[in-house]
Amino acid sequence: MNKRYSRIALIAFAGTLAGCTVGPDFVKPSPVVPPAWTAGAANPAGKVPSALTSSAPETDAWWQSFRDPELVSLISRAATENLDLREAALRIAEARAQRDISAADQLPSVSGNASYTNQRISTTTAQGSLFGSFGKLGGGLPVNIPSFPNPYNQYQIGFDASWEPDVFGGVRRSVEAAGADVEASQEDARAALISLEAEIARDYIDLRNAQGQLAITNRDLVTEQQIRLLARQRHDAGLGTDLDVVNATAELRQTQSQLPPLSRTIESDINQLSQLLAREPGALGTELRASAPVPPVPAKIRIGLPGDLVRRRPDIRGAEARLHGATARVGVAVATLFPSLTFNANLGTQAERFPDLAEWASRFYSIGPSLQIPIFEGGRLRATVQLADLKEKEAALDYANTVLNAVHEVENAIVAYDSEQRRRAALGATLIQNRDALGLARDRYKSGLTTFLDVLDAERNARQTELAMAASTAAVSTNLVALYKALGGGWEENGDTGGHVAQNIGR
């Protein structure tokens, strides 16, 4: 009875200790961010550009603000078809499986076993000779000495059980770290989704820009053909020179040389978009080859405050989850410095004949605890604790660096977006003047009041400004995409992007 009470007391003591968890508890870091966006390089007054507002951002997908159904369709399809996202979903599933493996260490392990052996001991050995002759020793004596058959059968059915109470919380810390790894994997998947959305938008804008520049170049070819015809007509009338005709032809050929690179860019962008949607090269050609304008930017954009980045940016949330995991692993390392208690049990039945397994006398068991105390490990355990502590400090620095990079990335994106808008406005005014100058030069050339070089210069300036204007329009939209990406994407604060991606594993 006393032994039973001792076992109960030992188990109760272990259960009491199981509430102890060593190592530091994770505390959410407090990021250092400015109270508002400055964008001072773009605005001497130090204020956010008027097109951007610091009010709370909308939760709608940012690409819908471009009001381009084709862009919305491409991004929607890529979210379910892209191979990188499906791979990220598998990494989430792997992290969850690893968490479940760690959690299983909190529970007892029980296994069953059954065996049959037929064994013969060699009689030419000292042991075999002794067993073979042992039964003959009782001849003529009133004592019945049992004999040992050789060979003999052995049947066995049993169960093994073991349980190591999580006395100092090492397993709980391991589960906590694995849970943080799951969160980090989900944020990595979200970051991959945001990068994919931005890449599709950039490629799509580049495609529409190339198509627009191709259309501008073709219009310029018509204008240059008219200028060359005018030069030839004046030459035939004795009012111009051969040089005018040659210069006009050279300018025409120069413009024609711009067509192949633009066509190559169009095909390359279509192939890139096809790849992002996990399609073969040119699969989207029929859908995208028809020209369309560059998606225009909205008049007002709500970007929120710097403090909102902590909730929206997946790289910041992922860095926080990794810091959480590193903190928990300090506790895992500290727990190895303390004793470990294990309860083992082995029971079953064992008999020479199979029917005898049901006999009460065939039972066997072995039950008892074991205690393991680390005494000397050559400094390995304490070095492991030190390593875990250093990794926690490294993760904390990585988190601070991630926040700092995010703030600078947004500031730079704001400057780029605002400055490109002002550049586009200046180019628009310049283009009006260049077109007026071209009209005046052609009229004066017809009247013989100016040389043909003035016409070529005016035409060249108008063409270059129009192409620059088209490129600037595309740059404004591209810079807005970069700003949206820097701000953290679609801002679905309560959405589980990892789960959204994970549901496409079976596709």
Angle at 76 between CA 70 and CA 81, to 5 degrees: 120
Predicted confidence (pLDDT) at residue 9 exceeds the cutoff of 70: no
Q: What pLDDT digit, counting tens, does each position of 344-398 carry?
A: 999 999 988 888 888 888 888 899 899 889 988 888 999 999 999 999 999 999 9
Residue tagged 């009001």 (tokens): 67
Would you say 207 and 289 are in contact if contact means Cβ atoms under 8 Å apart? no
73 CB neighbour count, 10 Å cutoff = 11
* Whole-Å CA distances, 206 to 115, 287, 292, 302, 473: 71, 16, 11, 24, 11
Exposure of 185 by Cβ count < 10 A (0-12 exposed, 13-18 middle, 19+ buried)? Answer: buried
Predicted confidence (pLDDT) at residue 47 exceeds the cutoff of 60: no
Query: What does the DSSP 8-state code read for residue 470?
Result: H
pLDDT given at position 137: 56
According to DSSP, the β-strands at 152-163 and 340-351 are antiparallel
218-223: Cβ within 8 A, 24+ apart: 218/259, 220/255, 220/459, 220/463, 220/466, 221/252, 221/255, 221/256, 223/459
Residue 241: partners with Cβ closer than 8 Å, 6 or more residues away = 235, 452
Per the document, the length of the chain is 507
228 closest CA partner among 209, 242, 249: 249
Query: Taking every pair of C-alpha atoms in the chain, what is the biggest distance, in angstroms?
Result: 152
Q: What pLDDT digit, counting tens, does each position of 81-131 carry?
A: 998 888 888 999 999 998 988 888 888 899 999 998 988 888 777 777 766
Query: DSSP states of 11-23 as a string?
Result: HHHHHHHTT---S
pLDDT given at position 504: 46
Query: DSSP states of 226-249 as a string?
Result: HHHHHHHHHHHTTSS-HHHHHHHH
426 closest CA partner among 460, 469, 462, 480: 469
Quickly list H helices, 18-82: 69-81
Give the residue with greater pLDDT, 501 vs 335.
335
Q: What pLDDT digit, counting tens, does each position of 478-493 carry?
A: 999 999 999 887 544 4
Cα radius of gyration (the chain): 40
From CA 334, how far away is CA 122, in angstroms rounded? 52
pLDDT given at position 126: 74
Q: Look over the chain and give the mean of its residue pLDDT values, rounded to a whole number.
A: 84
Over range 202-215, report the average pLDDT.
95
Q: What pLDDT digit, counting tens, does each position of 227-248 carry?
A: 888 888 877 877 778 888 888 8
pLDDT given at position 505: 39
Kindly indicate the confidence band of residue 506, based on its pLDDT and cuts at 50, 70 and 90: very low
Partnered with residue 53 across adjacent β-strands are 302
Q: What pLDDT digit, counting tens, does each position of 406-464 carry?
A: 999 999 999 999 899 899 999 999 999 989 988 898 888 788 787 777 888 888 888 88
pLDDT given at position 271: 94
